[in-house]
Structure 1
Amino acid sequence: MFGHIKGNRSFRRFSLRGLAKINIEFGLVAIVHSLLKQAEKNRLLQK
């Protein structure tokens, strides 16, 4: 999943410091990635 986020979403570095904050930041990025994938699937199914 990280490769897709790096390549398709241009997420190259974390903007926060500290392991706990990085975990939260990546969790948010992963949620957004999943929501965008689901939205694209829904868009394709409605055509």
Structure 2
Amino acid sequence: MLAKPKKTLRPIGVLLGKLSVPTEEEFAKYDSEILSMFEGKDQN
């Protein structure tokens, strides 16, 4: 089982490749939303 890590990872990479890759703007939006969530928790 330890000798087959690449075969199990390959399908995941194929699935991710078929999904739409987020742009840098989308990443920035998610980052700002996550940061605001953490900041809100710290303030409470």
Calculate the TM-score normalised by the size of structure 1.
0.48
Long gaps (5+) in structure 1: 1-15, 40-47
**Counterpart check, 1:31 vs 2:33:** no
Percentage of matched positions with identical amino acids: 4
The amino acid of 1:27's aligned partner reads S
TM (norm. structure 2) is 0.51
Q: Are 1:22 and 2:37 counterparts?
A: no
For residue 20 of structure 1, report the CA deviation from its aligned partner.
0.2
Structure of larger gyration radius: 2
